């Protein structure tokens, strides 16, 4: 009886925690361990729906702190050729918004790593903002990254996300003016949890051999606007090696790896992809 009561209390406590709070807890754990957050990106449905679930779970086993689930879209303006290729294959093989929600559900039922949807606004708008947020929260998702949604048009989605305890995370490119950074920070702090996604380079996603020499000064500039808000900074676009992760997490709270994972998946037969992803994530975490 005591065990049953204890489990019931734990379930009720878990239910009262906002999904976005799990993002904050991930950053707090990493800070306590004196390291940066590692956020790998996987395209839902690539190379297949079933295999994408296994790859995400492999990343969780390898030590990913948060995982981005890409939602394929026919006009992915911010994506480079590698992510575009993955999205095109996923769409050709029938991946939909419902399919992405199902993948999130399957992953969340097997691991505790916070999940983020990264996708474009049109499919979400067509699905229905309230319906999408409700079903995303029920599927174990903690927040969204929508690269083509400017702060001026973000209020309807942010309000729907807030109602379900979800974070709406905004991108900050290196060309952003100081006034606009201040506006993005103000909007970002209207919701629970989350972080700022600082784009490491001008242009689209894709692995690069070297990190921009201006990245550190850009992060310092953004930090001037976030330091009073306890809003973590994460760097993405172009990161691919353990050395990249080690460098970036010297001055930012986290790093995202995306295109490099798609390339890694493409370099291995399906029977070897899960182990390859797990070892790659482990190698990034060790740095």
Q: Which architecture does CATH list for 36-286?
A: Alpha-Beta Barrel (3.20)
Task: Report DSSP state, residue 152.
Answer: G
Q: Which of 65, 68, 135, 247 is flagged as catalytic?
A: 68
pLDDT tens digit sequence for 82-92 = 899 999 999 99
The pLDDT of residue 13 is: 41
Residue 16: predicted pLDDT: 63
Burial class (CB in 10 A: 0-12, 13-18, 19+), 119: buried
The structure's pTM equals 0.90
Cβ-contact 253, 227 below 8 angstroms: no
Question: Helix, strand or coil for residue 43?
Answer: strand
Query: pLDDT category, 240, cuts 50, 70, 90?
Result: confident
Of 104, 108, 96, 55, the residue nearest 72 (C-alpha): 96
Catalytic residue among 79, 135, 247, 253: 79
79 is annotated as an active-site residue: yes
Of 180, 102, 103, 104, the closest CA to residue 141 belongs to 104
pLDDT at res. 202: 56
78 or 222: whose pLDDT is higher?
222
Q: What does the longest C-alpha to C-alpha distance in the chain come to?
A: 61
Helix (H, G, I), strand (E, B) or coil at 118: strand
Whether the pLDDT of residue 139 is over 80: the answer is: yes
- Cis upstream peptide for 15 (omega within 30°): no
Rounded to 10 deg, the angle between the 49-62 and 270-286 helix axes is 30
């Amino acid at each position: 009886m005591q065990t049953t009561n204890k489990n019931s209390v734990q379930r009720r406590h878990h239910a009262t925690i906002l999904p976005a709070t799990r993002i904050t807890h991930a950053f707090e754990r990493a800070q306590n361990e004196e390291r940066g957050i590692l956020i790998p990106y996987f395209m839902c449905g690539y190379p297949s729906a079933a295999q994408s679930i296994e790859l995400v779970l492999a990343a969780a086993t390898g030590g990913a702190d948060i995982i981005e689930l890409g939602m394929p879209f026919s006009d992915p303006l911010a994506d480079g050729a590698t992510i575009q290729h993955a999205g095109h294959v996923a769409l050709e093989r029938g991946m939909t918004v419902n399919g992405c929600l199902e993948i999130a559900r399957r992953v969340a039922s097997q691991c505790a790593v916070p999940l983020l949807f990264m996708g474009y606004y049109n499919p979400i708008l067509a699905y229905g903002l309230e319906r999408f947020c409700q079903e995303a929260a029920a599927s174990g998702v903690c927040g969204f990254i929508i690269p083509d949604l400017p702060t001026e048009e973000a209020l309807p989605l942010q309000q729907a996300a807030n109602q379900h305890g979800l974070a709406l995370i905004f991108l900050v490119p290196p060309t952003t003016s100081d006034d606009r950074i201040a506006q993005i920070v103000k909007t970002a702090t209207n919701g629970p949890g989350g972080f700022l996604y600082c784009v490491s380079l001008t242009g689209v996603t894709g692995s690069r051999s070297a990190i921009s020499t201006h990245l550190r000064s850009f992060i310092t500039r953004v930090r001037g606007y976030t330091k009073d808000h306890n809003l973590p900074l994460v760097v993405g676009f172009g990161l691919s090696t353990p050395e990249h992760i080690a460098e970036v997490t010297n001055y930012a709270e986290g790093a995202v790896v995306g295109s490099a994972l798609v390339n890694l998946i493409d370099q291995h037969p399906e029977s070897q992809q899960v182990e390859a992803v797990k070892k790659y994530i482990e190698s990034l975490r060790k740095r």
